[in-house]
Amino acid sequence: MLPDLGKYAFEVTAAYGVSLVLLAGIVAISWRQHSVARRQLKEIEARKDG
């Protein structure tokens, strides 16, 4: 399945592996913070209205 990367297999797979982890990390952190902020604001607004 993987293409033949020859003698540079380590360099190419490391570049893709580390980059994808970093990109997935910022997406996951941003999404998590977004969900927490939305839930907390809803709770505060509900408390204020109630």
Partner 1 sequence: MSIWEYANPLKFLNWTTKVLPWVAGCAAVCVSVGLIWGFFFTPDDYRQGSTVKIIYLHVPAALMAINAWLMMLVASLIWLVRRHHVSALAAKAAAPVGVVFTLVALFTGAIWGKPMWGAYWAWDPRLTSFLILFLFYLGYMALWSAIEDADTAADLTSVLCMVGSVFALLSRYAVNFWNQGLHQGTSVPVATGERTVADVFFVPLLISMVGFGLMFLALVLLRTQTEIRKRRAAALIARETT
Interface positions with partner 1 (CB under 8 A) = 3-9, 11-12, 14-16, 18-19, 22-23, 25-27, 29-31, 33-34, 37-38, 40-41, 44-45, 47-48
Helix, strand, coil tally for the chain in percent (to 5):
90, 0, 10
Q: How far is the CB of 2 from partner 1 (least distance, A)?
A: 8
Q: Which residues, 6 or more positions from 5, have their beta carbon under 8 angstroms from its beta carbon? A: 12, 13
Q: How far is the CB of 41 from partner 1 (least distance, A)?
A: 5
Q: How far is the CB of 46 from partner 1 (least distance, A)?
A: 11
| Euclidean distance between CA atoms 3 and 13, whole angstroms | 11
